[in-house]
């Protein structure tokens, strides 16, 4: 039986529904499912193109490792990335402190890709494969319009939330 989650931009009041890819990414899907609900400041991708994401402290349990990875996510993909604070400390990333989330150790990046032609490459690290753990099945167009507004209007005060549907 499929599991579904809701991904929301809280201030804008926009949500979409996604199906977890339990068969293709069982470890990552389980890690996300067990951690829900989560919510934090949203960011818009600077390099990847059509991406919004949030940065969270490491979830309890083991990191899922690489599974169902891509460097070219498509519209509606939900991706997991694992970083440590040193990976995100470069001021070029635009975070307001030197470690992205203000924490040390592992950082989880949960991302939603809302448009085409994405490429997961980073000037400091090279290719950054993400684990595709879900796919949006409802309301991607509305979410994409809100994401484009984030790009044009800014992300301050907006949060990205993931919860069980």
Determine contact, residues 75/140, Cβ cutoff 8 Å: yes
Per-residue tens of pLDDT for the chain, all 165 residues:
899 999 999 999 999 999 999 999 999 999 999 999 999 999 999 888 999 999 999 998 889 999 999 999 999 999 999 987 777 666 655 555 444 455 566 889 999 999 999 999 987 788 999 999 999 999 999 999 999 999 999 999 999 999 999
Q: Which fold has domain 4-164?
A: Cyclophilin (2.40.100)
Contact between 78 and 132 (Cβ < 8 Å):
yes
Which pTM was predicted?
0.91
Spatial distance between the Cα atoms of 162 and 54, rounded to a whole number of angstroms:
10
Q: What is the CA radius of gyration of the chain?
A: 14
Query: Which of 72, 79, 90 is closest to 24 using CA atoms?
Result: 79
Q: Which are the contacts of 108, defined by CB distance < 8 A and separation ≥ 6?
A: 55, 56, 57, 58, 59, 80, 81, 82
Size of the chain in residues = 165
């Amino acid at each position: 039986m499929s599991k579904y989650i809701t991904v929301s931009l809280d201030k804008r009041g926009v949500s979409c529904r996604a199906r977890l890819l339990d068969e293709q990414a069982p470890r990552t899907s389980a890690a996300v499912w067990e951690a829900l609900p989560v919510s934090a400041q949203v960011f818009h991708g600077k390099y990847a193109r059509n991406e919004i994401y949030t940065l969270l402290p490491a979830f309890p349990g083991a990191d899922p490792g690489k599974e169902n990875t891509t460097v070219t996510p498509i519209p509606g993909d939900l991706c997991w990335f694992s970083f440590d604070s040193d990976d995100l400390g470069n001021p070029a990333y635009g975070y307001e402190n030197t470690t992205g989330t203000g924490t040390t150790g592992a950082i989880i990046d949960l991302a939603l890709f809302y448009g085409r032609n994405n490429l997961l490459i980073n000037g400091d690290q090279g290719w950054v494969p993400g684990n595709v753990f879900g796919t949006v099945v409802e309301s991607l167009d509305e979410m994409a319009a809100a994401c484009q507004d984030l790009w044009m209007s800014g992300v301050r005060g907006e949060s990205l939330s993931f919860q069980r549907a």
